[in-house]
Amino acid sequence: MMARLLARACCSKALPRGPRCPPGSVTARAWSNGPLTAYMPEAIAFPKPKDHQGLYKVSVEQGDAFWGALGRSRLTWITPFHSVQDCDLRQGRVSWFLGGQLNVSVNCLDRHVHVAPDKVALIWEKDEPGEEVQVTYRELLELTCRLGNTLKRQGVKRGDRVTIYMPPCPLAVASMLACARIGAVHAVVFAGFSAESLADRIRDAQSETVITVNQGLRGGKVIELKKTVDQAVKQCPGVKRILVSMRTDSKVPMTALDVLLEEEMMKEDACCEPAAMDSEDMLFLLYTSGSTGKPKGLVHSQAGYLLFAALTHKYVFNYQDRDIFGCVADIGWITGHTYVVYGPLCNGGTTVLFESTPIHPNPGRYWETVERLKINQFYGAPTAIRLLLRYGDEWVKKYDRSSLKVLGSVGEPINKEAWEWYFHVVGETRCPVVDTWWQTGGICISPRPSNPGAKILPGMAMRPFFGIRPSLLDDKGNVLLENNISGALCISQAWPGMARTIYNDHKRFLETYLTPYPGFFFTGDGVYRTSEGYYQLTGRLDDIINISGHRLGTAEVEDINHHVAVAESAVIGYPHEIKGEGAYVFVVLKKDSGYTQKTLTAELRELISKKIAKYAAPEYVTHRLPKTRSGKIMRRVLRKIVEDKASELGDLTTLDDHEAVQQIIEGHKLLVEGWKSC
Ligand code: PRX
């Protein structure tokens, strides 16, 4: 049976062996009908959110009562917590559910196996349509336990960081949960990242273990993921083992570090005792771009993250017991962590793992999947919506979308045209569109369709979630109390789902989020509060570009300076019809470099795709930089030019070389004309 399961979950041909659980173990209790945990805390009933306004007020004014009741009733604890929180943003102290011990995998698996073992946990929507695989809670627990035991046998210990470089598939989810089960810390790296980016992340996390697949399949193409891992590992002497799952039948060259994952899993028991983890122990690291070069490993801890993931999943999407939740994000991004894996599984839901692209084999893919799987909540990125909108309504209307109840948008602002199309064409004006604003963790500002009758306006994140108290600050640090005003978006009290630190760099965490406005968490985003008190995000306030919903620090791209022809560069985000933003790279060439615009653009695109990832590749390259007399690049001027607002350049008194600006304006015009005529 296990072999068949593994063959469905990946592609192994190993031998079957049934579960053998020591009597009395937590896993044995999950398989049986006995009580699940040694300690079941008194589940304090909390009023159902009928009156959202009232409940929101309780959540921000009586945080201990609100989160305490939810922490007790929604999570299963091994040891109860003694205090709800000890948080002080001014001091950089954030701790939730102190004294409590739990295991995240027990919350996501065992307790559901206990009541509904055959309920479908995962629907793996493979690259080719119509080949979906269903994995029940019982099966996912078995995969997780065997994988947890494999990790232990390979020498992985509590607290060790395990890098996961896999596309969305059941074994990737089992890998995350297996780490959680044994108390290891996972660091999933998006499987589109280059060998160099992967190596940076493995080294930063000091991972000794990497889990990957032989090959990935995406959009009908084979992706040589194991080869990328091998290249990365050459630069990571600390890696001791690579666990390889066979996603395809193709053999890949083995190295001395390789362990065949399915073969090892077959040798292990299907019972793995869950580690008792403190609420604030690390659950995972996830790397995200910062405004300085090095990506930062944001750390999330156990209880607060899980509770926040489950609650936002339930209330933002109005998730009901039998619903099928379709978040099409890759598990390598935080959206995949929170809304493909932890939120839905903690709620005992059925969640879709989408391996493909929105246009494979054709632009009807999402909606054909919705029809076939009967998806009730669909959650995707504005980039994909904008792309599909261009292909026309027929690709949508061809398929039955009557199962849909809520449509979600994530990762970047959704423009009005895309919002309207999503609402009118995809959702047939029947499904509320939730534009969810958040950052690494869980949804913070968003409409809540579970609140019937509440207004939703196009392209607006609308209202804060329970426990989130947004504040607008001006550049002097004054809190702006009035409505109809713009400011820096800060959050004025700690919430359970916030990141706790940057791995091995707490100072950077404080400098990025907590010291810019003492006493507040600074999000880095600008926001407008309407006359009715609704929130509309207006974009980043720092040098981070948001390409197709993926953050990219301009400094990361400016690292191209080591190209032989490049003397200096500046990278600016510019409005891109599909991707939201693109990277516009300004380059000063070295003398007599011999490169033309075309050859240099092509080379830089390739270089950046290799160094970072394909999505980061720049769109334009031009040649001169406007600087102040003291030598600072005038990004403000560059930004106006690329936004086609050359008539609004503002004060140029400090500009050193006026001719450079004129040349860039002319060059930009030519580029745009050339681009349009393509
Ligand atoms: O700038 C905001 C933008 O994405 C940033 C967070 O990126 P990350 O931590 O990678 O989390 C991705 C998952 C959301 C935010 O600071 N952003 C995210 N959602 C929205 C958004 N900007 C506008 N509207 C949104 N709905």
Handedness of CA 318, 323, 328, 330 (dihedral sign): positive
What is residue 614's DSSP assignment?
Answer: G
Taking the chain (678 residues) in consecutive chunks of 10 residues, what is each chunk's mean pLDDT? Answer: 64 40 54 40 46 85 92 92 96 96 96 93 96 95 96 98 97 98 97 92 97 96 97 97 95 93 94 96 91 81 98 95 97 96 98 96 98 98 91 96 97 89 97 94 92 83 95 93 93 98 96 96 93 89 83 75 78 86 82 79 85 76 72 80 84 76 84 69
Instruction: Give residues with Cβ within 8 angstroms of 348, minimum separation 6.
Output: 111, 112, 115, 116, 119, 137, 321
- Dist. CA 413 → ligand 1 center (Å): 8
Distance, in Å, from the CA atom of 241 to the CA atom of 224, rounded to the nearest integer, reads 18
pLDDT number for residue 556: 76
In DSSP terms, which residues pair with 509 in a beta bridge? none
Ligand 1 binding pocket (C-beta < 6 A) is 288, 334-335, 410-413, 435-440, 461, 523-525, 537, 540, 546, 551
- Dist. CA 456 → ligand 1 center (Å): 19
Ligand 1 atom nearest 414 alpha carbon: 24
Distance, in Å, from the CA atom of 189 to the CA atom of 198, rounded to the nearest integer, reads 7
Ligand 1 atom nearest 335 alpha carbon: 13
Considering only CA atoms, which of 142, 180, 109 is closest in space to residue 20?
142
- Dist. CA 426 → ligand 1 center (Å): 23
pLDDT number for residue 1: 63
> To which H or E segment does residue 672 belong?
helix 658-677
Question: What token pair was written down for 150?
Answer: 């494999």
- Dist. CA 335 → ligand 1 center (Å): 10
Ligand 1 atom nearest 437 alpha carbon: 26
pLDDT number for residue 606: 87
- β-bridge pairing 209-213 and 241-245: parallel
Give the residue, out of 437, 513, 545, with the most ligand 1 atoms within 8 A of its beta carbon, to mutate for a pocket test: 437
Report whether 492 contacts 471 (CB < 8 A).
yes
Report whether 223 contacts 252 (CB < 8 A).
no
Measured distance between the N- and C-terminal CA atoms of the chain, rounded to whole angstroms: 55
Distance, in Å, from the CA atom of 65 to the CA atom of 62, rounded to the nearest integer, reads 6
What is the layout of strands, in order, in the sheet containing 133-136? 133-136, 120-125, 350-354, 324-327, 377-380, 406-410, 433-436
**Which alpha helices (DSSP H) does 378-516 contain, by range?**
382-390, 394-397, 416-421, 506-509
- Dist. CA 593 → ligand 1 center (Å): 39
Question: What token pair was written down for 594?
Answer: 């011999």
pLDDT number for residue 342: 98
- Dist. CA 443 → ligand 1 center (Å): 9
Considering only CA atoms, which of 472, 607, 599 is closest in space to residue 528?
472
What is residue 136's DSSP assignment?
Answer: E
Nearest CA to ligand 1 atom 21: 412
Ligand 1 atom nearest 550 alpha carbon: 10
Q: What is the CA angle 102-107-112, rounded to 5? A: 145
Nearest CA to ligand 1 atom 5: 439
In the block, tokens 């800060």 appear at: 490
- What is the torsion angle, in degrees rounded to the nearest 10, for the CA atoms of residue 456, residue 457, residue 458 and residue 460? -90
In DSSP terms, which residues pair with 589 in a beta bridge? 566
Considering only CA atoms, which of 200, 443, 198 is closest in space to residue 316?
443
- Dist. CA 526 → ligand 1 center (Å): 11
- Dist. CA 602 → ligand 1 center (Å): 29
- Dist. CA 445 → ligand 1 center (Å): 11
Give the residue, out of 287, 537, 540, with the most ligand 1 atoms within 8 A of its beta carbon, to mutate for a pocket test: 537
Ligand 1 atom nearest 435 alpha carbon: 26
pLDDT number for residue 299: 98
pLDDT number for residue 652: 76
- Dist. CA 127 → ligand 1 center (Å): 27
pLDDT number for residue 247: 93
Question: What token pair was written down for 427?
Answer: 């959702």
Give the residue, out of 338, 438, 513, with the most ligand 1 atoms within 8 A of its beta carbon, to mutate for a pocket test: 438
Question: What token pair was written down for 259?
Answer: 């362990």
- Distance of CA 512 to CAs 35, 147, 467, 635, Å? 45, 36, 22, 21
- Dist. CA 439 → ligand 1 center (Å): 5
Give the residue, out of 299, 412, 509, 581, with the most ligand 1 atoms within 8 A of its beta carbon, to mutate for a pocket test: 412
- Dist. CA 490 → ligand 1 center (Å): 14
Report whether 331 contacts 340 (CB < 8 A).
yes
- Dist. CA 51 → ligand 1 center (Å): 28
Ligand 1 atom nearest 445 alpha carbon: 26
CA contacts within 13 A on the Cβ side of 646: 12
Question: What token pair was written down for 275?
Answer: 């580690």
Distance, in Å, from the CA atom of 303 to the CA atom of 166, rounded to the nearest integer, reads 25
Distance, in Å, from the CA atom of 62 to the CA atom of 435, rounded to the nearest integer, reads 27
Nearest CA to ligand 1 atom 15: 439
Nearest CA to ligand 1 atom 4: 411
Report whether 624 contacts 566 (CB < 8 A).
no
Handedness of CA 19, 21, 26, 30 (dihedral sign): positive
Nearest CA to ligand 1 atom 24: 413
- Distance of CA 62 to CAs 56, 211, 281, 450, Å? 10, 43, 25, 22
Please give the sequence-ordered ranges of beta strands (E in DSSP) within 555-628, or none if there are none. Answer: 566-576, 580-589, 620-622
Report whether 403 contacts 325 (CB < 8 A).
no
- The phi, psi pair for 581, rounded to 5°, reads -135, 150
- Dist. CA 411 → ligand 1 center (Å): 4
3-state secondary structure 278-303: ECCCEEEEEEECCCCCCCEEEEEECH
- Dist. CA 542 → ligand 1 center (Å): 13
Q: Which residue type occupies 458?
A: P
Distance, in Å, from the CA atom of 228 to the CA atom of 333, rounded to the nearest integer, reads 19
Nearest CA to ligand 1 atom 7: 439
Residue 143, SS3 per DSSP: helix
In DSSP terms, which residues pair with 583 in a beta bridge? 573
What is residue 423's DSSP assignment?
Answer: I
Burial of 384 (0-12, 13-18, 19+ CB in 10 A): buried
Distance, in Å, from the CA atom of 83 to the CA atom of 599, rounded to the nearest integer, reads 62
Nearest CA to ligand 1 atom 16: 439
Give the residue, out of 439, 446, 544, with the most ligand 1 atoms within 8 A of its beta carbon, to mutate for a pocket test: 439
- Dist. CA 268 → ligand 1 center (Å): 41
Ligand 1 atom nearest 523 alpha carbon: 16
What is residue 275's DSSP assignment?
Answer: P
Nearest CA to ligand 1 atom 8: 439
Distance, in Å, from the CA atom of 14 to the CA atom of 77, rounded to the nearest integer, reads 36
Distance, in Å, from the CA atom of 498 to the CA atom of 155, rounded to the nearest integer, reads 31
- Distance of CA 618 to CAs 232, 292, 298, Å? 23, 18, 26
